[in-house]
Structure 1
C-alpha cells in the first residue's frame, strides 16, 4: 500500500510537480536578489514619521509608501496628474531608480500559482502540491523501512545506483519539499477564503474634518520603526473626510489628517500572524536565506521525478507481466514474492500460469503487500522468497516478517515456502528460513516442508512443482525458462594465459565494448555504464542460465576485462578459455554497486586469491588520485598464476598501489593469503583503525580464512569483521 501511495501520485503528477517546483525554485531566489539590490538602511532608529516627511518634501504628490520584505522602499506619487513610482533611499528620501515591476517575476508567479488558468489553474497547482506532500511523506516512510528504521535514516544505502541516487537526493531535500508543499496548500486555502483571515479595522466614521497635519507630528508614526512598515497611505488631496492609513507587521490603523491623532488601531490577530508566517515560509519573503535554501531543495523534486520514472520503467521491464492475475479477495491461491533483482518474479509467473491452467484462481503480489484479512476465499498461501546479502529481506519483501509477527493468530489457510539462492554462499536461502521459522512459531500450518531452488535451477523448480501438485491432488508441471536480459555480442581482442605449469588453465580475457548508434543508445540498447566490481553475464552455448564474472575494468578503460579459470566440467569457463582473438560471445552487464571502494581518501585493503584478483586490479587501475591501496594476493605459483604481475609493478610506481603482498601455496614456503595477513597484522590493524575499508574477492573457503585471520587481528581493538560489515567497511564478492 505504501509503495503504491508513493508510486502512482508521482507518475501521474510528475510533469505538474516538475513545473511547480522549477518555477518555485526560481521565485524563491528572487527575494535574495531584491535584498542585494535594495538600498541599505543604515539607521535602525529611522521612523515612519521621518521617512514620510523626507519623501513628502521630494515628492509633494506622494500617495503611498510601501516597504517590501526585502527592505526595498517604494514611493507612489502623482506629478502634474501623471502617476510615478520610484525606489527610495531611506537615508535621504530621494529616489535612486524608477520602480518597474518585473514582467519576468509576474509571468513566473502566474505560472507557479495558476498555470495561467485562473481558479482552475490554482486548483491544479494545489493538486500538484498535495501530490508532492503525499510523495514526501510516503518517501520518508519507505526510506525508513528500507534502511531498517528511523534511527538509521541516514545510514549507507545498498542497491543499484539509480535507486540510491533517488533516495540520497530525497534524504537531503525532503524537509524543504514538505515545507513547500504544506505551505502551498495553506496559501491556496487562504486564496479561496477557506481559512479565517482575521478582521481589519473599520474605516472611521468620525474625523476632525481638518487637514494639513505633517507625518512628523504624529505620535504613532514617531513610535513606528521603518523596519516594521508595510504600507503608509496618504489621504486623498482636498478630501477632509479621508485619513492616513498605516500597516505594519504588528497591526494596522487610521490617523486623522488634521489632528494627527490615532483614530483606530487593531493589532494583528493570531490567524493573520499565522498566515503571514506561512507566506514567509513558502516564498522566503522576509527571510531571503530561507528562500534560497528552499529553492535549492525544490530542485530535488525534478531530479526525483526523473529517477522515479526511470526506476518504474526498470521495474516494469524486470518484472514479467502476470496474465489473469485475479483480485485478492477472489483468489483461492495467494502467491507472495520476495525478489531483489526480479528473477524470482519469473518463477512466480510460471507458477501462476500453471495454477491458472489447472483451474485455480491465483493472485500474485509482493510479500510487502501481505494482508491476510483480505484473503477471503484463499485456500493456501505460497511464498517464493529470495535472500538479499547476508540473510536480509529482498526489496519486495520489506516488512513481511514484522506484519507476520504482529498477527494476533496465524492465518487459517496453509502455507508453502520456496526459497531461492546460491548454495555456494553461507547464507543460502536464509530469509526463506526465517520466514519458515516465524510461521512455525505462530502456529501457521504448512502444506509442504520448506524447499529451496539452487542457482535458479529449472529442474529443481519442476521437482518442487510436482510435490506441490501432489499436495493439491492434481498434476502440476512447471516448465520455467529464465528471462535473459538483452545481451550484446562481445569480441575478444586479447588474452593472456596462465596456469599451464600447474595444470590449472586460466586467462585474462579482454573484449571490445560494442559500438551502437545514438538512436540505439537513446532507446537503452547500449551495453550501458559499468565499473570494476560489476558483473559480466555470459550466456554459454547450450544453456539458458548465465554465468557471472567480476569485471576487472570500467567503461572509462575502453574495454571489458575478466579473469577466468577452467573449472572441471564447467560449461562456460571451458568455452571462454577456448576462445581465440576475434571470436565472439554473448554477454550483458549486471550492476554490483556494493562491491567497490567507498568514496574518500581513507585507505583500502584489497584481498583476493586466484581469479578474484580481477576486480581488485580494476580498482587499482582506476586509482588515479593516489589513494592508499594495499593489495594482498594469493596464487599457486609465481611462475604460473601471478595475474597482472607487470601491471602491479607499474601501479606501484604510479602510486596507484601503495603496497603488494603475495602469498603462494605451491612453493616451498607454502603460504596462503590469510597467512600473509597474519604476518602483517600490526599494519592491518593500524590501517583499519584509521578507517580503512576491506574488499575481499575469491572463493568461499579463502574468504572464510580471511575472516578468521581478521577476527584475530582485530580482537585486541574490540572490533570484528561483522562490525566492519555493518559499517560498510568489509565487503565480500565470493564464489
Structure 2
C-alpha cells in the first residue's frame, strides 16, 4: 500500500512536477544572483539616516528608498518631471545602474506559480505541491524500510542502475523538496481561502505633527537609530507639505517620523502572524536566504531524474511480473516456483531455475507469492525464492502470501525448499525467508531442502544451491545466473608467499597491485576503472577463466597498504583457487572489491579476540596490521604443521614485538600436540571469560566446521556470565566471516 501511495501521485503528475521543479530551480538562482550584485555594509556601518542623506545628495528628487531581502537598495525618484528607479550603493549613495525587474524571471515565475493559466493554474500548482508532500513523506518511509530502519538511512545503499540512482538522489533531495512542497501547499491554501492569511494593519496616521521647518534627513534621530540591516523601506513626505511625515518600515515593524523633530510616531511592531507569513515565503523562495535558495534549487533539479528513474522502475516491475515462456498451468504443474521480489532481482534467479527445471523435463509453474492458489493438485515440489524488504518485511510481490497461506491446502506429497535473498550487512538478513520457511513447515509440508540464504545476489551461492537441489531431486541442474556482472579491475601479481606444500595443503599469500591507474568512477552504477577504498575484511571478487560466477576471498589488506592481499588455500578441483595458485609474478587477473562493513573490529580500547584457522587468518592479520593505536588484540589460530603452514609467521612476530598484537596462541593438528583452535580457547577460558565480561569483541574467520566448533566452546565459556554467542551477536560483539 505504501508503495502505491508513493507511485500513483508520481505517475499521475510526473510531467507537471518536472515543469514545477525546473522553473523552481531557475527561480532559486535569483536570490543568489541578487546577493552577489548587492553591496552589503557591515553591521553598524550605515544607519538609515546616513543612507538617506547620501542618496538624497545624488538624487534630490528622492521619493522612496527600498532595501530588498537580498540587500540591494533601490531609489525611486523624480527628475525633470520624469519618474525613475536606480540601484544605489548604500555606502556612497551613488547610482549603480537603472533598476528594472527581469522580464525572464517574471515569465518563469508566472509559469511556476500558475502555468500561465491564472487562477486555474494556481490551483493546479497547489495540488501538485500537495502531491509532492505525499511523495516526499512516502519516499522517506520507503527509504527507511529499504535500509532497515531510521538509524540506517545514511548507510551506503546496495544495488545499481535506476533503483540506485533513484534512492541516492531521493536521500539527497528529500528534505529540500519536502520544505518547498510544504511551504508551497501552505501558500496555495491561503490564496484559495483554506487557511487564514495573516493581515498586517499598519499604524494610523499621527494625529499631531509638529509642522515645523523640515530638518535635513541625515539629522533625524529616529532614522539614525535604525541600522541598515534592519531597514526595509522609507517613503519621503510630499515636498512642501510640512504636515506630512516619513513612513518607515523595518524588520520589526513600521511607523512615522516627524520631518522636523525626527521623533518616531505611531510605531507598530509586526504581528506574529506577519512574521510567520514572511518566514514561510522566505523558506519557499529563498528570498533573503541565498544559501537556502541554492539548496532548494539543487533539490528541485533532482525531480526530472527522479521522475524518469521512477518511471523506469515501475515499468521494470510490470515487465518482471509478466508470464514466463513455457510456464505450465498451475493445475497441471508438478513443480512450483513462487517469487517474492521488491526490485526484480529475484525474478532473474527464478527464471533461471524455471528454465533449468523445464530442460530437465519437469512441468513448472512460476508466479509471484501473492498469487498462491488454494491447492495445486499435481505438484510434488515447491520452491520459494524470496527477498526481504527493509527491516524484515515482505517484498512487494509477497505481501499477501501469509494471509493466503491460511487457505492453502497442500497435497500429502508436496515438499518445499525456501531460498532467501538479502544483504548480510542488515541485522534482519533474510528475515522474511525465515518466516516463510517456518510457516510452510507449520502447514505440514515436508522439507525438500533446508532454508538457505544468498548474500547480495551472489551468483556462486546460487550455483551451489542448485548443485544441492540436484542431489535432492536426483536430476542434474545447472544454475548459472549472474544478475549484476561486476565491473572489474586488472590486478597484477607482485608478491607471493607459499606454504603447506610439504603436507599437501598448499596455501599462498598473494599480493596484487592495480595494473591500470587513474581513470574515473561511475558513482551510481558502481562501475570502477580503479579500485574503490577498501579495508581488511572486505571481499575481493575474482573472475576465474571460463567461469561466469566470481569467487570471493577475504582481504588481508587495506587500501592504505598499497596492495590487494588475499590468502588462498588450493582446493582439490577448485576452479578459482587452482587458477590463483598457478599465477606467476607479473601475471594479471580480473577482480573487484565488495564491501563487507559488518566484519570489522570495534573502535576503542576494549579487547579484540581474533579466532581463525587456515586461510581464515587473512583478514585477521590485516586487522592486526592496522592496530597502530596498540589496543589489546589477541589471536587464536589453527594450522596443520608449524614447519610447513604457519601462515604470516614473520609478520606476527613483528606485530608481537611492536605491540600491535597483544597475545598469540596457535594450534597445529599434525604436530605432536595434535591440537585445534578450540582446544586453545578452552585452555584460556578464564582469561577469555574475564575479557568477555569487560566487553570484548570476538571475530571468527574460516571454515564452517571450525566456526561451529568455536561457537560451542565460546558458549560454554560464557555460561557463567549468563550469556551466549547469540546474545553477543545481537550486540555486535561476535562477528563471523565463514565459508
Fold match by TM threshold 0.5? yes
Unmatched segments (≥5 aa) in structure 1:
89-94, 468-476
Unmatched segments (≥5 aa) in structure 2:
453-460
3-state SS of 2:384 partner: strand
Stretch of structure 1 that moved more, 74-83 or 629-638: 74-83
CA contact (8 A) 2:65 2:234 kept: yes
Separation of aligned partners in 2, 1:118 and 1:338: 44
Q: 1:311 to 1:202 in 2, by over 3 A?
A: closer
The yes-or-no answer on 1:665 pairing with 2:673 is: no
Separation of aligned partners in 2, 1:433 and 1:65: 72
Q: 1:493 to 1:251 in 2, by over 3 A?
A: closer
CA contact (8 A) 1:417 1:432 kept: no
The yes-or-no answer on 1:596 pairing with 2:600 is: yes
The yes-or-no answer on 1:498 pairing with 2:499 is: yes
Residue in 1 that maps onto 2:282: 280
Matches within 5 A, 1:15-414: 37-41=40-44, 61-67=61-67, 76-77=76-77, 86=88, 95-96=91-92, 98=94, 119=115, 133-134=133-134, 136-146=136-146, 148-149=148-149, 152=151, 174-187=174-187, 197=197, 230-237=232-239, 245=247, 247=249, 274-282=276-284, 324=323, 337-338=339-340, 344-350=346-352, 370=370, 384-385=384-385, 397-398=394-395, 407=403, 410=406
Separation of aligned partners in 2, 1:35 and 1:520: 39
Give how far 1:157 is off: 7.0
Residue in 1 that maps onto 2:482: 483
3-state SS of 1:702 partner: helix
Q: How many residues align?
A: 692
Q: 1:40 to 1:272 in 2, by over 3 A?
A: closer
Stretch of structure 1 that moved more, 511-520 or 208-217: 208-217
Q: 1:397 to 1:193 in 2, by over 3 A?
A: same
Residue in 1 that maps onto 2:700: 696
Give how far 1:174 is off: 4.9
Separation of aligned partners in 1, 2:383 and 2:130: 36
Residue in 2 that maps onto 1:533: 537
Give how far 1:231 is off: 2.8
For normalisation by structure 2, the TM-score amounts to: 0.66
What are the Cα deviations for residues 370-410 of structure 1, in whole angstroms up to 9, with x where unaligned? 588xx99999997633578xxx98989458888666x4983
Q: 1:265 to 1:103 in 2, by over 3 A?
A: closer
Separation of aligned partners in 2, 1:73 and 1:23: 23
Q: 1:487 to 1:251 in 2, by over 3 A?
A: closer
Residue 637 of structure 1 is aligned with which of 641, 644, 651? 641
3-state SS of 1:458 partner: helix
Separation of aligned partners in 1, 2:297 and 2:715: 46
Stretch of structure 1 that moved more, 613-622 or 333-342: 333-342
3-state SS of 1:232 partner: strand
- Root-mean-square deviation (CA), in Å? 6.8
What are the Cα deviations for residues 662-720 of structure 1, in whole angstroms up to 9, with x where unaligned? 31233455554455556666876787778765432112233334445555666677765
The yes-or-no answer on 1:726 pairing with 2:727 is: no
Separation of aligned partners in 2, 1:492 and 1:308: 45
Q: 1:594 to 1:229 in 2, by over 3 A?
A: same
Give how far 1:63 is off: 1.9
Give how far 1:499 is off: 1.6
CA contact (8 A) 2:157 2:164 kept: yes
CA contact (8 A) 1:553 1:618 kept: yes
Separation of aligned partners in 2, 1:105 and 1:141: 42
Separation of aligned partners in 2, 1:582 and 1:713: 48
The yes-or-no answer on 1:458 pairing with 2:466 is: yes
Give how far 1:435 is off: 0.7
Q: 1:651 to 1:101 in 2, by over 3 A?
A: farther
The yes-or-no answer on 1:614 pairing with 2:626 is: no
Separation of aligned partners in 2, 1:67 and 1:610: 75
CA contact (8 A) 1:551 1:615 kept: yes
Residue in 1 that maps onto 2:435: 434
Q: 1:213 to 1:559 in 2, by over 3 A?
A: same
CA contact (8 A) 1:537 1:547 kept: yes
What are the Cα deviations for residues 186-215 of structure 1, in whole angstroms up to 9, with x where unaligned? 457778999765667699999999987969
For normalisation by structure 1, the TM-score amounts to: 0.66
Give how far 1:30 is off: 8.5
Separation of aligned partners in 2, 1:664 and 1:376: 57
CA contact (8 A) 1:510 1:562 kept: yes
Residue 549 of structure 1 is aligned with which of 546, 553, 578? 553
Stretch of structure 1 that moved more, 519-528 or 646-655: 519-528
Q: 1:504 to 1:203 in 2, by over 3 A?
A: closer
Give how far 1:722 is off: 3.5
CA contact (8 A) 1:24 1:295 kept: no
Q: 1:257 to 1:651 in 2, by over 3 A?
A: same
Separation of aligned partners in 1, 2:101 and 2:645: 69
Separation of aligned partners in 1, 2:100 and 2:687: 63
CA contact (8 A) 1:499 1:505 kept: yes
3-state SS of 2:568 partner: strand
Separation of aligned partners in 2, 1:691 and 1:292: 45
